[in-house]
Amino acid sequence: MITYLRYAISPTKNPRTNKEIPEIVKREAEKLFNQCRKYCINEKLKLVLMPIDTKDYKDVMSYINQYSEWASGLIMYEHKFNKKEMEEAKFLLLKSTSLICPEKGTSQMFSRCCDSNKLIGNQEGFFKIRKNDMEKKMITGTSAYRYFISKEIKEKLISDNISNIKFLPVYNMNNDEVLAYQIEAKKLMPLLAEYNKWRVYKGCLKCGKLVYNPIQDYAHPLIIPKEFKAYLSDFNATFEVFTEICSRYYIISKKFIHYCLKQGQKN
Ligand SMILES: [Zn+2]
């Protein structure tokens, strides 16, 4: 496994203090970007994708610390696994390269946590999409960080006894027709925050509900202790939720993966 930092080496004016970027910060950022140019993935944004076991990574981190007032705070990590690691893994994190945007913003789909009115509540009601959103997709990610599957796949998952999965209808935005199903875990996983050192993103002082920073904020991949293996089914979701939209991470078994591959699903 190789871990990469995804970061824009481009200082910005501090919106709180409205202070201009000092010349020295601009110069240092320019110098650092030139040093890291070999990792550049977007010239305009000065965006780099660099392995974290390098001196360049250490230099970027010290730039961020030294110029924290102007340096971007958006620090994201990605992990790339080789073929052997992928083959040997018993469980994988579900991700999709296809994306659809259901109707309604997050503010309408999610309840407030309590009378403190904080937007860290649960999903209320069902998602709606346009008639042709699913097209020929069998499984897709969504802008709300939930996953939808086609009606055909739902039937097959049921007949193949994929465990711990439940299906919520996704409706046509114009009528009551069911166009797809949202997949969720029946039973959630044991708490993982402590093992993953997840940082609280927002919390409600009144009811104690917490949401965490997303997983890409940490320099390590998702950690599940060995002793939790007994709790894992074919389809699993974290108990903890992340950011305002209370997304979860979905962990799938080899059976689920093979099943999707058998159906010709590439993403
Ligand atoms: Zn609350």
State residue 265's pLDDT score: 47
pLDDT score of 39: 97
CB-CB contact of 138 with 146 (8 Å): no
Angle CA(107)–CA(71)–CA(16) in degrees, nearest 5?
60
Residues 6+ positions from 27 with CB-CB distance below 8 Å: none
Smallest CA-to-CA distance from 143 within 22, 30, 28, 247 is with 247
Give Cβ neighbours of residue 113 (< 8 Å, ≥ 6 apart). 119, 120, 121, 204, 206, 207, 209
The amino acid sitting at 14 is: N
CA of 195 to the centre of ligand 1 (A): 25
pLDDT digits (tens, 9 = 90+) for 15-64: 777 888 999 999 999 999 999 999 999 999 999 999 999 999 999 999 99
By residue count, the chain amounts to 267
Q: Does pLDDT of 256 surpass 50?
A: yes
Q: Ligand 1 centroid to 201 CA: how many Å? A: 14
CA of 241 to the centre of ligand 1 (A): 14
211 CA to middle of ligand 1, Å? 11
- C-alpha of residue 247 to centroid of ligand 1, in Å: 17
Residue with tokens 């998702």: 222
pLDDT band at 266 (very low <50, low <70, confident <90, very high): very low
* 104 C-alpha to ligand 1 centroid (Å): 23
pLDDT band at 120 (very low <50, low <70, confident <90, very high): low
Residues with CB under 5 A from ligand 1 (ion): 113-114, 116, 204, 206-207
Distance, CA 204 to ligand 1 centroid (Å)?
5
Say what the pTM is.
Answer: 0.85
